[in-house]
Homo-oligomer: A and B are copies of this chain.
Amino acid sequence: MIESVLSKIKEYYLELLPFNKVLGIDIDRLDYETGDAVTSFEMTKDLVGNSTMGILHGGVTASVIDLTGGLSALISCAKFHRKKPLEVIEKKITSSATIDMRVDYLRPGKGKSFICKSRIIRAGSRIVVSKIDLYNENQSRIATGTATYLIG
């Protein structure tokens, strides 16, 4: 059951959210117990924000922080409704949404590949708050964020 739910979340993110394909997002880990989520993506020409400096566009950073924190919120949503049929959980998942987000840009987004990690800092029946960090391949933290999500 847990596996089916996590598969649904992955499928939803990777198949039904076209902009996630533009970003080239991959889901590396979804932890049902803790709500931790890890995503990754490669630098491409399209994701550059400053071609002279070859760094990640701030919008890409914000997008990945939002969507990775959202994965934690979806896991939390799935757990909260775990006694319900899979179709109901699926509907709850697709109706969850970001309420607000703060992003702090800590250093220029240099790198070839990036990894983004989210953990839940507040889990409720209606809202989830995630803390999210984005690192490059040298474990240098590019940005950090906090986002609040409404659970379906």
> A147 to nearest B CB, angstroms?
9
**Contact: A58 with B47, CB < 8 Å?**
no
- A90 vs B19: C-alpha distance when bound (angstroms): 32
Taking CB atoms, residues of chain B closer than 8 Å to A16 are 50-52
Identical copies in the complex: 4
> A25 to nearest B CB, angstroms?
10
- The interface on chain A, measured as residues whose beta carbon lies within 8 A of the other chain's beta carbons, has a size of 52
Taking CB atoms, residues of chain B closer than 8 Å to A121 are 104, 106, 141, 144
User: What is the interface of chain A, defined by CB distance below 8 A to chain B?
Assistant: 16-23, 45-53, 57-60, 62-64, 66-67, 70, 94, 97-108, 121-122, 124, 126-127, 129, 131, 141, 144, 146, 148, 150
